[in-house]
Amino acid sequence: MVSTKKDRVLAVLSLSGGNDGLNTIIPYTSGMYRDARPTLAIAENQVIPLNDQLGLHPTMKPLKRFWDEGKLAIFLGIGYPTPSYSHFRSMDIWHTCEPEKIGTEGWLGRAIKELDPKAENVLTGVNFGRGLPRALAKDGVPVASVGNLETYGLLTGIEGQEQRMEALDVFGRMYSPTVGRDAVMDYIHRTGSDALKGADILATAPSKYSSNVEYSASVVGQYMKNIAQTHLAGFGSRILYTTSPYNGFDTHANQASAHASLWTDVSNNVQTFVDDLREHNASEETLLFMFSEFGRRITDNGSGTDHGAGSVAFAIGDHVKGGFYGVYPSLDPGRQEEGGNLKFSMDFRSVYATILEDWLGLDAKPIVNGNFEKARFLQTA
């Protein structure tokens, strides 16, 4: 049998809180780095070198494998002009591609609209976590938001499997689309039956799944597992999104240990995720993208680091052309962003545009609000 070409899938892991790019991709030979980080500089002999200037944080060893395979793209100096140092605002800018004004539509909400214009599949976009990130928000785009895939569904408070099934049955009939009521009531009925449809389908994902890998019990581990489960269940989902625990990367204090455990968790689970997909012959069609809303201050504050600007982002996948993209921002005080921060050198919308056009086959311009030079990190065709 000839294998049919599978639809491409984008998985996103948002690292909430502002990841310290400087201690993630470390300019380990730089004297200025050591001067700026009297407390937090990572010793040169502990850095995992990627070339003769830059290396990974010691806890990121699992990701080194993908680098060696040529499947890990690292974006340097990623950000946008006139940085915002507010978590919410900066994350909103990444979500909406609107640095100038406040936007309400997310880039992935728009992408889902293009991928599934008639909203025929209620699971084209799925978020793992409570509440919908604005990246996925767009009027008329149904996106399921799953707090816990194992227990996801409607009327989860009803005890007893039989009672709940019967209640869901009643629910299904109560929400069966009717005509002739007022428009709002009709809309709520339609939305209710969409939600039930989505929940019914999603509920089958865990039982369809078996794997030899094991994710950690952390939030990131469980949600990465849920992404793999949903993808492997073959529901036709194209955008799968999750966020690390809210503001976890906001390491103002005790950064040395906090940042290490954050990256241990992320690196291990990302490795497990890719292994999982490979085991199931599903890595070919999957691209994983990781980003954070900003980086952190160049100089440490004696215990942690404060909000900064330019940072790093990552893409991992079989079709990724591994390597560095962009230029590492200068630590030279004369060439910093105002306030002692790294100046961005690559617009995040360049990476989005590449993903949208070269991975999802969409026209990027209306989605990211403009033309941005693509970072050509994907093998085309």
Chain residues that interact with another protein, rule: CB under 8 A: 86, 88-89, 92, 102, 104, 122, 127, 130-132, 134, 139, 142-145, 154-158, 163, 166-167, 170-171, 173-176, 178, 181, 183-185, 187-189, 191-192, 194-195, 198-199
**Burial category of 119 from C-beta neighbours within 10 Å (exposed 0-12, middle 13-18, buried 19 and up):** middle
Which C-beta is closer to another protein: that of 88 or that of 150? 88
Q: Are strands 323-325 and 143-146 parallel, antiparallel or unpaired?
A: unpaired
Which C-beta is closer to another protein: that of 127 or that of 286? 127
Which C-beta is closer to another protein: that of 156 or that of 261? 156
CB of 166: closest distance to another protein in angstroms?
Answer: 7
Q: Which two tokens stand for residue 22?
A: 């400087």
CB of 7: closest distance to another protein in angstroms?
Answer: 21
Which C-beta is closer to another protein: that of 191 or that of 379? 191
CB of 235: closest distance to another protein in angstroms?
Answer: 14
Instruction: Give the three-class secondary structure for 25.
Output: strand
Gap between the Cα atoms of 216 and 344, Å rounded: 33
Dihedral through CA 209, CA 211, CA 216, CA 221, nearest 10? Answer: -50
What are the strands of the beta sheet with 54-56, ordered from one edge?
A: 25-27, 54-56, 48-49
Which C-beta is closer to another protein: that of 85 or that of 258? 85
CB of 111: closest distance to another protein in angstroms?
Answer: 17
Q: Which two tokens stand for residue 50?
A: 């990627």
CB of 96: closest distance to another protein in angstroms?
Answer: 10
Which C-beta is closer to another protein: that of 158 or that of 282? 158
| CA 83 from centre of chain | 20
Phi, psi of 237 (to 5 degrees): -70, 140
Gap between the Cα atoms of 203 and 134, Å rounded: 25
Which C-beta is closer to another protein: that of 35 or that of 166? 166
Which C-beta is closer to another protein: that of 131 or that of 334? 131
Concatenating the DSSP letter of every residue in 159-190 gives: -SHHHHHHHHHHHHHHTS--SSS-HHHHHHHH
Rg (CA), the chain: 22
Q: What 8-state DSSP symbol labels residue 344? A: P
Gap between the Cα atoms of 196 and 171, Å rounded: 9
CB of 108: closest distance to another protein in angstroms?
Answer: 14
CB of 131: closest distance to another protein in angstroms?
Answer: 4
Buried b (16+ CB within 10 A) or exposed e, 252-287: beebeebbbebbbbbbbbbbbbbbbbeebebbebbb
CB of 163: closest distance to another protein in angstroms?
Answer: 7
Mind spelling out the 3-state secondary structure of 83-141? CCCCHHHHHHHHHHCCCCCCCCCCHHHHHHHHHCCCCCCCCCEEEECCCCCHHHCCCCC
Which C-beta is closer to another protein: that of 155 or that of 213? 155
CB of 20: closest distance to another protein in angstroms?
Answer: 19
Which C-beta is closer to another protein: that of 58 or that of 172? 172
CB of 136: closest distance to another protein in angstroms?
Answer: 9
